[in-house]
Amino acid sequence: MKIPVRLRRHAPQMIKFCVTGGIAAVIDLGTSTLLHERYAVSVPVSYICSTLLAVLFVFFMNKRFTFGNRETDTGKQLSKFLLVYGGAIILNFAISTGLFSLGVEYRIAKMIAIGIGAVINYILSHSFVFKKKV
């Protein structure tokens, strides 16, 4: 079976995106669990705090590690990133909170939200936020 050229070209980048996302998911899940179970922070507030921390980590890792982007106008790039990930945070919160309210265990709800967001975030990060200038 022959792997399409487009997939071969993007595979290393997708792997790096998954590694970065995996670390961010650990940060996100770990922080929300710590805040909720250790410090009795409500589940919705712990979701917001943990997601913001993970998103900050993702910006810097995706810029340098995943996409190898050396663009010096970080402000413009950060604005694009915040637009994309602002939507991702809202989506993550809506999915995880919605599932939690339906009785899904809060960590499972969070993992499902992270998975759905990851697909959308890769597409928009690659094609909009860290798009290479031609």
Residue 22 confidence (pLDDT): 92
Is residue 98 pLDDT above 90, yes or no? yes
CA 45, CA 49: separation in Å to the nearest integer? Answer: 6
Is residue 30 pLDDT above 90, yes or no? yes
93-120 average pLDDT score: 91
Residue 78 confidence (pLDDT): 87
